[in-house]
């Protein structure tokens, strides 16, 4: 099994080409087992958020690995209730304290709000001070990105969005490409919808891999960094084992042209929702 290679992003930082998602990975024992399994499988990019409510457990789990901090790429996000300049700085400090680190490799705005620019200015300050190595956004569509891109501020280095076969986000990805914004996929397996699609199963069978491996390889060949999540060792191992085969041009085109739809909330839906009932990629 080959490990994820590293990708240059606009900050000059190298980011692994596949990450380990931790949304709904909760509980001290569960987080510990998942982090250990992910590390042993070869993951070095761990993605979390203050909203996930697992940063303390992640920090404790990472500490048990007894490895240099620089061996890991850790990403977190500032939540809706902590947007704005001052609250964003406070959210960053809390995330670092909870995870037992004095810096983050990547810090994202979780969703766009009416205070996006003041939140972004806080991220720029953290970046200038060397407290974060890269800054970016999550769930931003073109109109939200334009607010930053056209303002003469630092451009986001990452946009973490919902992408999967059936919802390839081609126009948004093309916009990001034109502006040097690398795309991460927070929902690469489409909430499991891919497993029942006959075309995906056929492509997986032709390549001697599982449907999830075929779809994650599709992301990789498109230049998207997928961040699959799992609490189960067999799935953790399977999801990273995508670097010793290549999908054909025909396979790629078929996966890119599948019909489907968005499965998670829009930015507007996120702002309207009750956080206690919130579900995301």
Residue 126 and residue 132 in contact, taking contact as beta carbons nearer than 8 Å? yes
Q: Which entry of 39, 52, 175, 220 is annotated as an active-site residue? A: 52
Q: Using CA atoms, how far apart are residues 191 and 162, in angstroms rounded to an integer?
A: 10
Residue 148: C-alpha distances to residues 106, 137, 142, 226 (Å): 17, 10, 10, 24
- Active site (annotated) includes residue 85: no
Q: Is 1 exposed, middle or buried (0-12, 13-18, 19+ CB in 10 A)?
A: exposed
Bridging pattern class, strands 20-21 and 45-47: parallel
Q: What is the CA radius of gyration of the chain?
A: 18
Measure the N-to-C terminal CA separation of the chain; round to a whole number of Å: 27
Tokens of 244: 């010793």
Torsion of CA 265, 107, 9, 71, to 10 degrees: -120
Which residues are part of the catalytic machinery? Answer: 52
């Amino acid at each position: 099994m080959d490990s994820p290679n590293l990708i240059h992003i606009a900050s000059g930082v190298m980011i692994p080409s596949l990450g380990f998602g931790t949304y709904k990975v909760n509980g001290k024992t569960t987080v510990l087992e998942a982090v250990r399994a992910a590390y042993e499988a070869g993951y070095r990019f761990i993605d979390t958020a203050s909203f996930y409510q697992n940063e303390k457990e992640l920090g404790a789990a990472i500490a048990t690995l007894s490895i240099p901090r620089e061996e890991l790429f850790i990403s977190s996000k500032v939540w809706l209730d902590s947007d704005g300049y001052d609250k964003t700085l406070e959210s960053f400090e809390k995330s670092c304290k909870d995870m037992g680190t004095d810096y983050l490799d990547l810090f994202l705005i979780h969703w766009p709000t009416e205070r996006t620019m003041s939140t972004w200015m806080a991220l720029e300050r953290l970046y200038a001070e060397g407290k974060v190595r890269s800054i970016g956004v999550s769930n931003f569509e073109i109109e939200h990105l334009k607010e930053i891109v056209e303002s003469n501020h630092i451009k986001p280095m990452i946009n973490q969005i919902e992408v999967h076969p059936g919802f390839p986000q081609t126009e948004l990805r093309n916009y990001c490409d034109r502006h040097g914004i690398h795309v991460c996929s927070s929902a690469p397996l489409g909430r499991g919808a891919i497993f029942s699609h006959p075309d995906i199963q056929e492509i997986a069978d032709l390549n001697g891999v599982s449907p999830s491996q075929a779809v994650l390889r599709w992301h990789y060949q498109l230049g998207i960094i997928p961040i699959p999540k799992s609490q189960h060792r067999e799935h953790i191992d399977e999801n990273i084992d995508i670097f010793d085969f290549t999908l054909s041009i025909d396979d790629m085109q078929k996966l890119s042209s599948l019909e489907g739809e968005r499965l998670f909330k829009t930015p507007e839906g996120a702002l309207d929702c009750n956080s206690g009932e919130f579900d995301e990629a």
